[in-house]
Structure 1
Amino acid sequence: MRVLITGANGFIGRWLTRRLAADDAVETVAAIRAPNSVQFEGARATRLSDLADRTEVHDVINSVAPDIIINLAAYGVSPDRRDPVAMFNVNAAAPVAIVQAASALGAAVVGVGSQSEYTANNVVEQQIQETDPIGSQALYGASKASAWLGASATARQLNCSYIHLRLFNTYGHGEAAHRLLPTLARAARTGDKAVLSDGLQVRDFVYIEDAVESLVAAAHLANRQRSGLVEAVNVCSGDGTSVRRFAEIAASAFGLPPQQLSFGTIGRRPDDLPYIVGSPEKAFSLLGWTARHSVSEGLAKVAAMQAAPNSESLQ
C-alpha cells in the first residue's frame, strides 16, 4: 500500500509518518511544504508548496501514484494564520482537488476534519453523533465542515472512497508552542505562572498515538474498498474532561506546582464552547478503533518523552 501524506510536517503528520514508515506493508511518501528541511526516516519526501494550486496538487499526486492519500494539511490552527481566503483554499477547496486526483488514479482518500465542524449546542450536554448538524460559526470549523461537504459530494459523484475523520482534542509531545501542553511544560521549566482561562470547558481528549491509529485503520479500510465508501467518523473517547482537570493532571506529570496554574487570568475565546464530547460508536463499528489511553496515561507518556534526551525528535 503506497500512502501519500499531505501536511506530513505538522504535529499529527510527523507522528503518522513515523508510524507508517515502520510498517513493512506500507510505502510512505511524505508531501511537505517547500522550502522545508524536515527529514523522515523510512519515508520518501516530495515537495508540495501550495495546496491551493490545483495543478500542483494533481501533478504531485500523479507523480506519486498512491493507493491512499491521507490529507492532514490544514490552515488556521495557529493563531497567526487566520486569513479567511487562505483558510478556505487549503481546508475546503484543496480536499476537493485531492479527491478528484485520487479518483482518476483509482485511489482513495482519508481526510482529517475537526470537532469544531459541529453546530454549537450550549444547552444539552450529550455525546455528539456524526449525524448531528454541522455548520460552525467559527471560520476554522466552517472551513472543515466545507471540506466534508465538498469532498464527500465529489467522492460520491466520482465513486471514490472518502473517509473524513473528525478528530477531537488531540494532544501529545510535539504540539505547537501556543497550545496548552507546551504552555504548561514551559511554566514547569521556567518557574513562571501558566496563564489560563477558568478551565471549566469540558472536552474529549484523545492521545496522539490513539489518533494516529485511527488514521491507520481508516487507510487500511479505504485500501480494501477504494470506491463507494463515503463516511464521516468521530475520533474521540466519549469521555469528558474539563480543561482545568486536564491542566492539573498535566502539571502533576510535569512537576509543575499547583500554585503556578493561574486559572481565570484570561478569558475564553468567543467560540470556546462549554461542552464538546463525541460518540465513539461509529469509529469502533466501522474502523474497529477505540481510544486506548486515558488522559492520565497519555499525559504520563508526554511527560516521559519530554524528559527524554531525544525529546526533539517529534518537534
Structure 2
Amino acid sequence: MKEFEKKLAGCTFIVTGATGFLGSAFVRTLLEHQAHVIVISRRSSDHWRLNKYRDKYLVFTTELRDICDLHIDKPGQTILVHFSASGVNQRDDDVERMVQTNIVGTYHVLNFANEKKLKRVVLIGTSGEYGSGYGLTETAPLQPTSDYGATRASATLITKSYCERRGIDYTILRPFAVYGPYEAPYRLIPYAITQAMKGHTINISSGQQTRDYIYIDDVTRGIITACLSDKASGKIFNICTGVETTVKQAVSHVVSIMGDRVDIKTGAIDNIPGEMWRTTGNPEYAYDVLNWKAKYSLEEGLIETINWFETVGLKLKNYT
C-alpha cells in the first residue's frame, strides 16, 4: 500500500476491537507505515494476530464503558476506528452481550470522542445491517434478519444521530463478506482451506446462499482511505466488490486452487436460522467519492489466502 507511506507516518489512531480479524489487519498496516496506534483491549482479549508487533503499539486495557479514562495528548489529531463488536459468529445467540457491546459500547465510544474532541470517529459496521438483497446501495433500508445485524444497525443509527447533533466528524463503513489471512478458523474460507490441507471432506449447508466476498487487503485499504479523506466526513460507504458468489462456488474455488484434493458435501450442515440468503453490495459510491475499489478478484484473494495458510497459518496453534 505505497499510497499510504507518507500519509500515515506520524498519525495517531485509537482502535477498538484491534485483536479481531478486521481490526488486527488494520493495525498491522498502520504499524507497517509508522503510524502511532493505541489499542483498546479487554483483559480477556487474545493478541495472537498481533504477536509480531506487540512492542510497537500501546494497549489501554479496559471495558468500553471506561474508555473515557484514557488520556490523549493530541486529540485533535487522533482518529478513532471502532471495530469492536459481539456476535460476529452467526451461531452466537448471546443477545444481551450483543446489545451491551454493539449498542451500549458504541455509545461509550461516542461519548469518549465527544469529550476528548477527537479528529474523527470511523465506525466499522457490516453488510448484515441491510439484511438480504442484491446490489445494495448505502441508501437501502436497514432490514437486518439477525440479532447481530439489528444491534449493528442500531450502532450505525446512534453514531449518525449522536455525531450530527454534536458536530463530531464521523464516517461509517460497511464491509461485506471479508476473508483472508488470520480469519477465525470456524469461518467458511479458513475451514475449507484447512480441511483441504488435511485431506478431509468439506461439509457445508445447502451452499446456495450468495455473498459478496472481498479480500482483507482491499478492506484495509478502503478503511485507511476513508480515515484520511476529508470527502468521507459524514458519509456511509459499502466496502465490497459487487460480485455475487454462492457459498458452494467459493468453496469449489478453494478446492480447485488446491488441486481438487477433497470432496464437498452439501447439506451436511443445517442452514443458520435468520441468515441472509442473498447479499451483494454496490461499490460505486466508494469509488465515486473516495476513488476506492477492490483490486483482488475472488480467485486472486483465495490464492493469497491459501499461500498464507500453507506458509504461516498451519504453524499457528489456532488452526491446528
Verify same fold: TM over 0.5.
yes
Q: 1:72-221 to 2 correspondence within 5 Å? A: 72-78=83-89, 81-107=92-118, 108-121=120-133, 126-221=134-229
Cα distance in 2 between the residues matched to 1:303 and 1:156:
43
Q: What is the aligned partner in structure 2 of residue 15 from structure 1?
A: 25
Moved more, 96-105 or 78-87: 78-87
Task: Give the equivalent residue in structure 2 for 1:57.
Answer: 67
Is 2:19–2:46's contact at 8 Å kept on the other side of the alignment?
no
The equivalent residue for 1:270 is 273
* TM-score normalised to structure 2 length: 0.87
Q: 1:80 to 1:115 in 2, by over 3 A?
A: closer
CA contact 1:173–1:314 (8 Å) conserved in 2: no
Mapped partners of 2:122, 2:39: distance in 1: 15
What amino acid is aligned across from residue 50 of structure 1 in structure 2? E
Aligned pair in 2 of structure 1 residues 159, 32: CA closer, same or farther (>3 Å)? same
Question: Are the aligned partners of 2:146 and 2:275 in contact in 1 as well (CA < 8 Å)?
Answer: no
What residue number does 1:34 align with? 43
Q: How far apart are the structure 2 equivalents of 1:310 and 1:8? A: 19
Instruction: State whether residues 61 and 102 of structure 1, in contact with CA within 8 Å, keep that contact through their aligned partners in structure 2.
Output: no
Asked whether the equivalents of residues 187 and 256 of structure 1 are also in contact (C-alpha less than 8 Å), the reply is no
Distance 1:244-1:141 versus aligned 2 partners, 3 A rule: same
Aligned partners of 1:21 and 1:42 also within 8 Å:
no
2:254 aligned with 1:245, yes or no?
no
Q: Aligned equivalents of 2:24 and 2:79: distance in 1?
A: 17
Do the aligned partners of 1:202 and 1:277 also contact (CA within 8 Å) in 2?
yes
Q: Secondary structure at the match of 2:70?
A: helix
Gaps of 5+ in 1: none
The RMSD of aligned alpha carbons is: 2.3
Equivalent residue letter for 2:257: A
Would you say the 8 A contact 1:4–1:64 is kept in 2?
no
The CA distance in 2 between the partners of 1:272 and 1:237, in whole Å, is 20
Question: Does the C-alpha gap of structure 1 residues 140 and 33 become closer, same or farther in structure 2, counting only changes over 3 Å?
Answer: same
Seen in structure 2, the aligned counterparts of structure 1 residues 178 and 274 have a Cα distance that, compared at 3 Å, is same
* SS of corresponding position for 1:127: strand
Deviations 1:210-265 (A, max 9, x none): 011111111112xx479xx322211110111111111111122234525x211122
1:44 to 52, 57, 65: 57
Distance 2:315 2:170 in 1: 34
Inter-partner Cα distance in structure 1 for 2:236 and 2:46: 33
* Corresponding residue for residue 290 of structure 1: 293
Give the Cα separation in 1 of the matches to 2:12 and 2:317.
23
Q: Which stretch of the first structure deviates more once superposed, 61-70 or 104-113?
A: 61-70
Q: Please state how far the C-alpha of 1:182 moved relative to its aligned partner.
A: 2.0
Q: CA deviation at 1:152?
A: 0.9
Structure 2: gaps (5+ residues): 1-10
After superposing on structure 2, the runs of 4+ consecutive aligned residues of structure 1 that deviate more than 3 Å are 61-66, 309-315
CA contact (8 A) 2:128 2:276 kept: no
Q: Secondary structure at the match of 2:125?
A: strand
Measured after TM superposition, the shift of residue 62 of structure 1 is: 4.5
Q: Is the 8 A contact 1:75 1:86 kept in 2?
A: yes
